[in-house]
Amino acid sequence: MPERIILIDSNSLIYRGYFAIPPLTTTKGELSNATFGFASILLKAIEEIKPQYIAAAFDLPQKTFRHERDATYKATRKPMPDELRPQFERCKELLNKFGVPIYALPGFEADDVIGALAKQAEAAGLESIIVSGDLDTLQLVTPHTKLFTTRMGFQNTVVYDEAQIDQRFGLRPDQMVDFKALKGDATDNIPGVPGVGEKTAAKLIAENGSIEGVYADLTRFTPKLRENLAGHQDQVFRSREMATIVTDLPVTLDVQAARFRDYDRAGVLELFRELEFRSLIPRLPPADGNLAPAKPPAARPGQLALGLDPEPTNAPTVATTVVAPEDAAGLAERLRAARSIAVHADVDVGRHPVLIGLGIAVSDEAARKMVREYDEAGAHRMIFLARQPGNEFLTDLEQIAHKFITPA
């Protein structure tokens, strides 16, 4: 089996994460949803593909040769949101800590750079897996190049090889650019033929081989389709030119620099803790000779930590009782009558926070013991509430008890 290289389409993944994942902010107020999505898909790709090499490509802010050919190219796109710019730097920081080389070329897009790198990787005997948030690079798929992409949001992924492309579209990879020329691409403002959607475009190319084959004899089609095809013939060929990824570029893949082995695991840990990516930490791959944990961040008084510190090796036990549904009413009554209680919320604070468990201590001594022991264990997720007149937390407590304990 040949060695594998992951080629990361960075811009598409960052944008995909920004729009697919609800806004996530750290306790310091830093927006991190795009960074989280990028890091998550990168770790998923590493885990599933198990690459020996990784390289990343980025777009540059200046215009490309496609803009010079057609001023309307991507003209409908909105400018990058201001709050997204810092997340691009965070993603580059993550790649640097993973030791991943970054490629970009003035006048060309990341897809072009990836096309050139994939071509060189194949010549070097490597299997390339392009990791992207869109399907633009399907045209690059060969027996030695595949596309690993997201679908249905950001949680699920699919790998496109030649067979998968045929299964979904009924086409070969080299026909995908002709397919795109007929149906158009609203994202890049590449026009297609009016009335020709994905199914019609796929059928036309599958039956005729190419757009040249489609235009060889328009009399075979319905009057409306024939009219639309004839009236937009020049545009279709221009659209194919705009959609074609250029692979002969002045960029060279440094295979040794892309070797994925020892990386700054401590640095990645520190970055994940700073960004409060608790759920991603267990997914980090090992780094030979570099397994030292990062120093935990200094505690911030009055702030609820998110469980990013290393878990204690010997956490003290606290006696617990599982409350059955029929006991819920009695427990709620005891909570209301208690002078003080302690609540421990065990929460997975990933992309979609989930309450895993709720611990409640009712008696004064149990409450103090629960707070003390969990604090000593380093969990720092305790909420101590005392029943006092005007206690502002009391209503919240009763709502918590009703929502998570009282049966519907």
**Whole-prediction pTM:** 0.71
* pLDDT given at position 335: 72
* pLDDT given at position 344: 64
User: Which phi-psi region, left, alpha or beta, contains residue 92 (left: φ > 0; alpha: ψ -120 to 50)?
Assistant: alpha
Please list the pLDDT of the chain residue by residue as tens digits (408 residues): 899 999 999 999 999 999 999 999 999 999 999 999 999 999 999 999 999 999 999 999 999 999 999 999 999 999 999 999 999 999 999 999 999 999 999 999 999 999 999 999 999 999 999 999 999 999 999 999 999 998 866 668 899 999 999 999 999 999 999 999 999 999 999 999 999 999 999 999 999 999 999 999 999 999 999 999 999 999 999 999 999 999 999 999 999 999 998 899 999 999 999 999 999 999 999 876 343 344 444 444 433 333 333 343 343 444 555 555 556 667 677 777 776 677 765 544 444 444 545 667 766 565 555 444 444 443 333 344 443 344 333 344 444 444 444 333
Task: Determine the 3-state secondary structure of 27 from DSSP.
Answer: coil
DSSP sequence for 344-398: EEEEE-SSS-EEEEEEEE-SHHHHHHHHHHHHHHT---EEEEE--TT-TTHHHHH
Return d(Cα 128, Cα 202) in angstroms, integer: 26
Q: Crossing angle, helix 10-20 and helix 33-49, to 10 degrees?
A: 120
* pLDDT given at position 291: 36
Query: For the segment 69-102, what is each residue's pLDDT rounded down to a tens digit?
Result: 999 999 999 999 999 999 999 999 999 999 999 9
Tokens in use for 16?
């995909």
* pLDDT given at position 349: 43
User: What one-letter code names the amino acid at 366?
Assistant: A
* pLDDT given at position 343: 72
Tokens in use for 243?
């959609």
Tokens in use for 234?
């020049």
How many residues are there in the chain? 408
* Residues in CB range of 334: below 8 A, 6 or more apart: 362
* pLDDT given at position 334: 75
* pLDDT given at position 323: 55
User: What one-letter code names the amino acid at 345?
Assistant: A
Task: State the pairing for strand pair 354-361/156-160.
Answer: unpaired
